[in-house]
Amino acid sequence: MSAQTSPLADAYPHRHLLGIEGLQPHEILALLDRAESAVEISRQVEKKKAVLRGRTQINLFFEASTRTQSSFEIAGKRLGADVMNMSVSSSSVKKGETLIDTAATLNAMHPDIIVVRHHAAGAVHLLAQKVGCSVINAGDGAHEHPTQALLDALTIRRHKGKIARLTVAICGDILHSRVARSNIILLNALGARVKVVAPSTLLPNGIRQMGVEVCATMREGLADADIVMMLRLQRERMAGAFIPSVREYFRYYGLDAEKLSAARPDALVMHPGPMNRGVEIDPEIADGPQSLIREQVEMGVAVRMAVLEALSAHLPNR
Ligand code: CP
């Protein structure tokens, strides 16, 4: 038997969340609206709901995570799911088991939702074809990180009251960033103006075709910016020299008070984390009055509750 219908299920008619690409603006907005309610639930003393009661959620992380894994665990538990965190470092993946065999093994245990992070772009889409349950992409290589873009949008909308016609400057290691890619797709879908700022070595081919303005300097990129979104320099994904030195990088692309003064006076600063203080952002800015970085973490739980609830409506009832 299949799933119940509800306004959220009607607004988000998908079994999985594999990326922002392909989502309609009204589907994104339905998730953000639902996340607003989840913020309120999370701020109450009594946080437990029964939306996922009896359901099993597996968090399968092949890459390190603090924010995404813990917030998916908290979100699942707040909705009543039984949540299992699968530690890849102590699993049979270490003995050479393939992603597909791991997926088939977990599928045999009848989970309802699998949340996956993997170092290879496309791995989560492949896994979704091999299992019978719902799959959520928690970050696949440099491809997509859809719940990060949703939580960023929620954070922006709560402060600016809208996304459309805002100017958002995304700065730093665009080349290796799934966060940048998902944010560019989402912000364009909702009508924002998106600028990217990076040295040419940290820009992917074809970036202009994604509907962004490309800027080589922070001064140019931050002009008129309502939101300044900094990205981590992903040195673990760099084979070879992409920047002359960290010191040079901070000098030209690290966000400090002087560079931030090029943005609008009410500009807000974001960073998906983990942050490298003194590499892409000055600690005084990260902890300063314009920073939304801690609030992004709170919104992460709310958005993941909304996504889990949206998918739960499409789970089979037996
Ligand atoms: N922003 C983000 O994905 O952080 P984690 O790697 O800690 O999950």
Tell me: the pLDDT tens digits for 69-128?
Answer: 999 999 999 999 999 998 787 777 778 889 999 999 999 999 999 999 999 999 999 999
Q: Provide the pLDDT for residue 1.
A: 43
Query: Which residue reads 């080349």 in tokens?
Result: 175
The predicted model gives 186-190 an average pLDDT of 98
User: How far does residue 17's CA lie from ligand 1's centre (Å)?
Assistant: 17
The finding on whether 2 has its CB within 6 A of some atom of ligand 1 is: no
Tell me how crowded residue 64 is: count the other CB atoms within 10 A of its CB: 12
Q: Do 155 and 183 contact (CB within 8 A), yes or no? A: no
> What is the sign of the dihedral through the CA atoms of 228, 229, 234 and 238?
negative
pLDDT tens digits for range 215-268: 999 999 999 999 999 999 987 776 667 887 889 999 999 999 999 999 999 999
Given a cut of 90, whether residue 32 has pLDDT beyond it is: yes
The finding on whether 274 has its CB within 6 A of some atom of ligand 1 is: yes
The predicted model gives 260-277 an average pLDDT of 97
Q: Provide the pLDDT for residue 87.
A: 77
Among 61, 68, 140, residue to substitute to test ligand 1 (most atoms within 8 Å of Cβ): 68
Q: Provide the pLDDT for residue 89.
A: 77
Read off the pTM.
Answer: 0.96
User: How far does residue 21's CA lie from ligand 1's centre (Å)?
Assistant: 20
C-alpha distances in Å from residue 155, one per residue of 7, 14, 53, 81, 194: 23, 24, 28, 26, 16
* Cα distance between residue 229 and residue 182, in whole Å: 13
Q: Do 290 and 256 contact (CB within 8 A), yes or no? A: no
* Cα distance between residue 82 and residue 43, in whole Å: 22
The predicted model gives 3-20 an average pLDDT of 88
User: How far does residue 65's CA lie from ligand 1's centre (Å)?
Assistant: 5
pLDDT tens digits for range 116-161: 999 999 999 999 999 999 999 999 999 999 999 999 999 999 999 9
Q: Provide the pLDDT for residue 239.
A: 65
Q: Provide the pLDDT for residue 272.
A: 98
User: How far does residue 69's CA lie from ligand 1's centre (Å)?
Assistant: 8
105 φ/ψ angles, rounded to the nearest 5 degrees: -65, -45
For ligand 1, atom 3, which residue shows the shortest CA distance? 68
Instruction: Judge if the upstream peptide bond of residue 274 is cis by omega within 30 degrees of 0.
Output: yes
Tell me how crowded residue 193 is: count the other CB atoms within 10 A of its CB: 18
The finding on whether 296 has its CB within 6 A of some atom of ligand 1 is: no
Given a cut of 60, whether residue 48 has pLDDT beyond it is: yes
Given a cut of 50, whether residue 190 has pLDDT beyond it is: yes
The finding on whether 148 has its CB within 6 A of some atom of ligand 1 is: yes
- Whole-number average pLDDT of the chain: 94
* Cα distance between residue 154 and residue 300, in whole Å: 9
